[in-house]
Amino acid sequence: MPKRVFVKYCGGCNPHFDRRALCLKLRTALPQLEIVEAHPENEHDFVAVLCGCRAQCAEHSELRGRSGKKLISAAGDYPLLEESIKKALLSD
Amino acid sequence: MALMTGDEYVESIRRLKMKIYMFGETVDNPVDNPILRPSLNSVKATYDLAQLPEHADLMTAKSHLTGKKINRFCHIHHSTDDLVKKVKMQRLCGQRTASCFQRCVGLDSFNSVFSTTYECDRKHGTKYHENFLEFLKEAQEKDWTVDGAMTDPKGDRGLSPGRQADPDLYLRVVERRKDGIVVRGAKAHQTGICNSHQVLVMPTIAMGPEDRDYAVSFAVPLDAENLFMVIGRQSCDTRKLEGSDLDVGNREFGGVEALVIFDNVFVPNERIFLNGETDFSGMLVERFAGYHRQSYGGCKVGVGDVLIGAAALAAEYNGAHKASHIKDKLIEMTHLNETLYSSGIACSCEGSETASGNYLIDLLLANVCKQNVTRFPYEITRLAEDIAGGLMVTAPSEKDLRHPRIGPYLDKYLRGVASTPTEDRLKIMRLIENLTLGAAAVGYRTESMHGAGSPQAQRIVIARLGNMERKKALAKNIARIK
Ligand SMILES: Cc1cc2nc3c(=O)[nH]c(=O)nc-3n(C[C@H](O)[C@H](O)[C@H](O)COP(=O)(O)OP(=O)(O)OC[C@H]3O[C@@H](n4cnc5c(N)ncnc54)[C@H](O)[C@@H]3O)c2cc1C
């Protein structure tokens, strides 16, 4: 079973970048992982929190990633996110 | 059900057999009526957006009654974070519809009736909070859109409800029965009423003991017997009958208001939330108005985002976008818009808990927010009209643009920069027209002025809560006055 990354979004009232496009980029870059945007559980292999601005208001306190959680709030931080996921889930 | 899809919402409204009048005729199928449909679509957007993972954080919340995921428009705020999220949700909905999406009056009435009934019960031993909780549970479970109905026709503004020449000019109880009450009167300017499942009625002003019959709050379904509504006209409304996408400016979305008449409507006991306790009328009015004044710091900002974007595109399409005064005007529009947002957020962050456990905004800051809303959208529209140029009110119709002989002339002479199709330029002109003086101006301009209370209503609250004595003491202290 592929490892699962849960993408949690902020509500998107005034995002400075296209958060869903970044999610698609993740899917393309990491085809060996399952990238999900909606899931009823709180625990995942990894949690990626995509916030549209520096207010970072996404509610993610109850979400846990067994191998890590990373929040980004600018499109320029995408490489950091991809890197963190690779390191956490694909390093061996 | 808890969360309906947009399509399920539309079908749920279709099932209601409401009595609606427009242009002197009854409207048998409001859902598919071309004048009304855009307003239904705006409410539908509040359901559609709640289904999207990238907006769920704002559009949904956890019910404090059932623990289930519900639409935030049915939520009782339980923290300042909830209040902030409400404003952000409204900004989002305004951005997506560029019009009044109508559902916030229900949210604001839920929260004000919730806390007022709790306090009324504690003082008078009534059972209104219990009644209200049952209603709220059903509203959350069925994901209802609820019209918050406060404004009475009011007749002579200089006279109290009981002293009017016609006693029905404020909605009142005309009969008290064992199983409920019968009410008569009307509510004016009701936003989204024909797109709602229920109407939640509240009194419109603080009242004295002599106005007992007017201090009434309750909910009934919109297909209740003896209830009917007459749709308000909007500027350019019949353009929607012409089948032109371009000429309406915003093809998909719009707002709607109506005069709602309660011609002896029966309300069962379990749906009564206030019945004669005049000492709680003022509290209910103040809280509803406060929440609604906060709302405008979100919804109008979202619509403002669209208008600012439209003005920026208009400048790009006519090649003036690099001029320093144009850039400065766009900055000014943004500054005004974000100032509205700031006070919407500020009154939310400064919110506090009521005795019932829900959260109320800071009333002073909410009133400051709305006072700004009575002004800034007017300045934003002025600047948008400045940037747009005269074409926004002189452009010929879509039919002319498509005309085999005239069309090519319009395409040639109404073009701005060569790289932008004339049609795109006209689309932006029509959108600006729609927002500044067309159908959407009802929501963006005059509703900004009078919705949630005319400007003077906010100034009265600002005067009361402004803490003037402390300001004087501070000045005396610095000036060393004993
Ligand atoms: C687009 C729109 C949507 C709305 N949606 C809703 C809704 O969904 N639900 C709802 O309940 N209401 C709604 N309203 C109603 C709104 O709250 C009222 O318009 C507002 O309270 C003003 O009342 P009015 O329109 O009767 O104006 P008026 O009372 O006629 O006011 C006109 C002027 O007279 C002044 N005035 C009035 N009374 C007095 C007085 N006693 N002393 C001194 N000056 C006075 C006012 O300050 C104002 O300057 C909406 C209004 C609009 C325009």
Whether the pLDDT of residue A15 is over 80: the answer is yes
Distance CA B416, CA B354 (A): 56
Question: pLDDT by residue (tens digit) across A26-36?
Answer: 999 999 999 99
Q: Do domains B6-279 and B293-479 have the same CATH topology?
A: no
Q: Quote the ipTM score.
A: 0.92
Inter-chain residue contact A57 with B57, CB threshold 8 Å: yes
Closest CA of chain A from B77, distance in Å: 15
pLDDT of residue B1: 67
Q: Which domain holds residue A30?
A: 4-89
Inter-chain residue contact B305 with A14, CB threshold 8 Å: yes
- The residues spanned by each domain of chain B are 6-279, 293-479
Q: Residue with the nearest Cα to atom 16 of ligand 1?
A: B451
B292 is catalytic: yes
> In a structure prediction context, what are the per-residue pLDDT tens digits for chain B, which is 482 residues long?
689 999 999 999 999 999 999 999 999 999 999 999 999 999 999 999 999 999 999 999 999 999 999 999 999 999 999 999 999 999 999 999 999 999 999 999 999 999 999 999 999 999 999 999 999 999 999 999 999 999 999 999 999 999 999 999 999 999 999 999 999 999 999 999 999 999 999 999 999 999 999 999 999 999 999 999 999 999 999 999 999 999 999 999 999 999 999 999 999 999 999 999 999 999 999 999 999 999 999 999 999 999 999 999 999 999 999 999 999 999 999 999 999 999 999 999 999 999 999 999 999 999 999 999 999 999 999 999 999 999 999 999 999 999 999 999 999 999 999 999 999 999 999 999 999 999 999 999 999 999 999 999 999 999 999 999 999 999 999 999 99
Q: Map tokens 């000045």 to a residue.
A: B475
Q: Which amino acid is at B116?
A: T
pLDDT of residue B204: 97
Q: What is the 3-state secondary structure of chain A?
A: CCCEEEEEECCCCCCCCCHHHHHHHHHHHCCCCEEECCCCCCEECEEEEECCCCCCCCCCCCCEECCCEEEECCHHHHHHHHHHHHHHHCCC
Which residues make beta-bridge pairs with B79? none
b/e per residue B442-475 (b: at least 16 CB within 10 A): bbbbebbeebbbeeebbeebbeeeeeeeeeeeee
Q: Residue with the nearest Cα to atom 30 of ligand 1?
A: B157
Q: Tell me how far the alpha carbon of residue B361 lies from the centroid of ligand 1, in angstroms.
A: 22
pLDDT band at A42 (very low <50, low <70, confident <90, very high): confident
Question: pLDDT by residue (tens digit) across B290-330?
Answer: 999 999 999 999 999 999 999 999 999 999 999 999 999 99
pLDDT of residue A91: 87
CATH architecture of B6-279: Beta Barrel (2.40)
Residue B404 backbone class (left: φ over 0; alpha: ψ -120 to 50; beta: rest): alpha
User: How high is the mean pLDDT of chain A?
Assistant: 94
Structurally, how many domains does chain A consist of?
A: 1
Whether the pLDDT of residue A40 is over 80: the answer is no
DSSP per residue, B425-480: HHHHHHHHHHHHTSTTHIIIIIHHHHTTS-HHHHHHHHHHHS-HHHHHHHHHHHHT
Give domain B293-479's CATH number out of 1.20.140.10, 1.10.1740.10, 3.40.190.290, 3.40.50.1240: 1.20.140.10
Q: Tell me how far the alpha carbon of residue B289 lies from the centroid of ligand 1, in angstroms.
A: 12
pLDDT of residue B303: 98
